């Protein structure tokens, strides 16, 4: 049986490990090179799943909007960059609102 103090230390260690885990994805760009992006937020709209991702883990970086193109039977998700101007503008507003709730501004 663990003491309460030992249990608290264990819980803090587990929380630290979860916070330090990278929530990242690796994609291939148009040149076939691997690009690592860090997921900032995700949402689902009209049956489509979207990610807001950045090229840096901390601090200022470029943000990208990605759409999940995988089918329900696929074992892994497949993402593509959102490039339609209307969809990009609309989803940018959605993610700006979601991120502002967290105190993060997207320009």
Residue 1, pLDDT > 50, answer: no
With b for 16 or more beta-carbon neighbours within 10 A and e for fewer, the 49-88 pattern comes to ebbbbbeeeeeeeebbbbbbeeeeeeeeeebeebeeeeee
At 14 the pLDDT is 52
Predicted TM-score (pTM) above 0.95: no
Write the pLDDT tens digit of every residue in 11-59: 555 545 444 556 888 888 788 888 889 888 899 988 889 999 888 887 7
Quick one: 32 exposed, middle or buried, by C-beta within 10 A (0-12, 13-18, 19+)? exposed
Concatenated DSSP letters of 40-64: EEEEEETTEEEEEEESSSSSS--EE
């Amino acid at each position: 049986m663990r003491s309460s103090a030992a249990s608290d230390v264990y819980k803090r260690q587990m929380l630290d490990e979860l916070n330090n885990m990278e929530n990242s994805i690796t994609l291939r760009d148009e040149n076939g090179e691997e690009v690592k992006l860090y997921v900032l937020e995700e949402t689902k709209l009209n049956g489509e799943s979207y990610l807001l991702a950045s090229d840096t883990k901390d601090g200022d970086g470029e943000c990208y909007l990605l759409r999940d193109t995988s089918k329900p039977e696929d074992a892994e998700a497949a993402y593509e960059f959102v490039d339609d101007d209307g969809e990009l503008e609309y989803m940018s507003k959605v993610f700006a609102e979601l991120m502002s709730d967290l105190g993060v501004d997207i320009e």
